[in-house]
Amino acid sequence: MSLYRTELRRLAKRRFSRYMSLLGLLVLAAVVIGVFFTNQKIDSTQYALAERKADQQYEQQVTWSAQERANCEQAKTAGTPNDGRYPDDCSMITAPPRESIEARWFLPSTFDFRETFDETLVPFAAILALVGFVVGASFVGAEWSTGGMMNLLLWRPKRLTVLLTKLAALLTGTLAVTLPAAVLWFAGFWAVANLRGSTAKMTSGVWQSFALTGLRGVVLVLVITTIGFALASLGRHTAMALGGVVAVMVVGQFGLGILLSMASVRFAEAWLLPTYALAWMTKKVTLQDWNSCNATYYGECKPATLDITWQQSSVLFSVGVVVIVGAALWAMRRRDIS
């Protein structure tokens, strides 16, 4: 009997794997449904209503400005100290120009597929990565804690082959869930855009960009799943992976973020893992340091910036996966199985 097929069957039969996958898919479905009900398609009637609201806002600004200008003149005549409330020249109190109040501010929320869909791929990858991490950790962690790994090695004594086959089966199962979910995610938001928004200006270049972002999301899910599996194997218990993540995120990330902020370190976010995960998905994250000033020819002060790119993130994730999986394989080869 093939060890790979056996591990696939074991993964599919585990109730925890099925329930966690179902939970992740239900959360994704809830996101799509929530976006559907919080957006609507905009027609000429709503544009006309937004124009009327913009006109009303402008009229209110005109009325307010006239009242404030009159109050300013009255205060100057009476010699009342204005405490900086009014300018020295009351004629400076004027309403903004009509064109500065845009009708689009008063339009209801609508889902523009071209402008918005790319942003939805980040929570998609994050939710499935979390599911993959927990399922991956429990898949091998349960084998160690229940003694199943020892029994399996009596049948197949090649330790590294057994561990890598388990990992291959896990990644196959993860792909079997992630890829159809990605297709349904695209289809769901395309339907939302058709019914509650717009699908205008969709070109082949835009579709290619979305596909590449989705592919990076799938890769991120596989990477996080692999890390969860390797940590649980390294510690021989599911709690090792879950506890390690809690320690890294709460102590290592939040605590480090607070410490760097207190120390006024430039670009503190560059030391935090979520920044690199976001850069991987969005291709680039630009960090700003508002404590520094780069003056322009016009006297404008602009903050210093630092770009975190998806290439840098790929190097970090590759090194992390190699180190953690390598440690798990080394421990599997060197430590006693008991």
Convert the pLDDT of each residue in 226-262 to its tens digit: 998 998 888 776 665 566 666 556 555 666 666 666 6
- Least confident window among 99-113, 176-190, 212-226, 228-242: 228-242
The DSSP string of 259-273 is: HHHHTT-TTGGGGSH
Residues 149, 163: contact at Cβ < 8 Å?
A: no
Residues 237, 231: contact at Cβ < 8 Å?
A: no
DSSP letter, residue 99: G
Query: Nearest-CA neighbor of 40 among 187, 202, 184, 192?
Result: 192
Confidence (pLDDT) at 110: 87
Phi–psi pair at 46, nearest 5 degrees: -70, -35
Residues 53, 87: contact at Cβ < 8 Å?
A: no
Q: Considering the chain, what is the average pLDDT of its residues?
A: 83
Residues 201, 296: contact at Cβ < 8 Å?
A: no
Phi–psi pair at 244, nearest 5 degrees: -65, -40
Mean pLDDT of 40-66: 84
Residue 200 backbone class (left: φ over 0; alpha: ψ -120 to 50; beta: rest): beta
* More confident call, 242 vs 289: 289
Confidence (pLDDT) at 84: 66
Percent of the chain whose predicted confidence (pLDDT) is above 70: 81
- Angstrom CA distances, 21 to 8, 130, 173, stand at 15, 10, 10
Confidence (pLDDT) at 2: 82
The overall pTM is greater than 0.85? no
Q: How far apart are the first and last CA of the chain?
A: 25
Mean pLDDT of 80-99: 75
The DSSP string of 37-94 is: HT-----HHHHHHHHHHHHHHHHHHHHHHHHHHHHHHHHHHHT---TTSS-SSGGG--
* More confident call, 327 vs 248: 327
Mean pLDDT of 203-211: 93
- Angstrom CA distances, 29 to 6, 80, 184, 185, 194, stand at 31, 62, 9, 8, 17
Q: Is 143 exposed, middle or buried (0-12, 13-18, 19+ CB in 10 A)?
A: buried
Q: What are the tokens at 110?
A: 């609508």
Exposure b/e, 174-204, CB count within 10 A at least 16 = b: beebbeebbeebbebbeebbeebbbbeeeee
Q: What are the tokens at 174?
A: 């993860």
Convert the pLDDT of each residue in 120-157 to its tens digit: 999 999 999 999 998 988 888 777 766 666 666 666 67
